[in-house]
Copies of this chain bind each other. A is one copy, B any other.
Amino acid sequence: MSAHFQRELGKLKDKLLHLCAVVEDNLNRAVRALQTRDVALASDVVAGDVAVDQMEVDVEEDCLKILALHQPVATDLRFIVTAMKINNDLERVGDLAVNIAERAIALGTDYPRDLPIDFEAMADVTKRMVKQSLDALINMDADLACTVCSMDDEVDECNRRMFQVFDSALSKRPGLASELLHLLSVSRHLERIADHATNIAEDVIYMVNGKIARHPSATGRPCPRQQ
Chain B: minimal CB distance from A71 (Å): 4
Q: Are B181 and A217 in contact (CB under 8 A)?
A: no
**Closest chain B residue to A216 by CB distance?**
B53
Interface assignment of A138: CB less than 8 Å from any CB of chain B: no
Q: Is A167 touching B171 in the complex (CB atoms < 8 A)?
A: no
A77 within 8 A of B: yes
Q: Return chain B residues, CB-CB under 8 Å to A84.
A: 81, 84-85
Chain A contact residues: over half helix, strand or loop, or mixed?
A: helix
The digit string for A166-189, where 1 denotes a CB below 8 A from any CB of B, is 111011101101101100100010
User: Interface extent on A, as a size class?
Assistant: 35 or more
Given A67-B67, A68-B74, A71-B73, A217–B50 Cβ distance below 8 Å? Answer: yes
A112 to chain B, nearest CB (A): 15
Interface string of A75-115 (1 = CB under 8 A from B): 00110010011001000000000000000000000000000
A81-B53 CB under 8 A given contacts A163-B181, A174-B170, A184-B181: no
Would you call A209 an interface residue if the criterion is a C-beta within 8 Å of the partner chain's C-beta atoms? no
CB distance from A199 to the nearest CB of B (A): 9
Indicate if A219 sits at the interface (CB-CB under 8 A).
yes
A208 touches B (CB below 8 Å): no
Pairwise interchain contact A217-B53, C-beta atoms closer than 8 A? yes
A218 vs B53: C-alpha distance in the bound complex, in angstroms?
Answer: 6
- Report whether B60 and A212 are in contact in the complex, using a CB–CB cutoff of 8 Å: yes
Given contact pairs A64-B81, A67-B77, A71-B73, A170 touches B163 in the complex (Cβ within 8 A): no
List 30 interface pairs A-B (beta carbons < 8 Å), by A numbering.
A53-B214, A53-B215, A53-B218, A54-B215, A54-B219, A56-B215, A56-B218, A57-B218, A57-B219, A60-B212, A61-B212, A67-B67, A67-B77, A68-B74, A68-B77, A71-B71, A84-B84, A84-B85, A88-B88, A163-B181, A167-B181, A170-B170, A170-B174, A170-B177, A170-B180, A170-B181, A171-B175, A174-B174, A174-B177, A181-B184
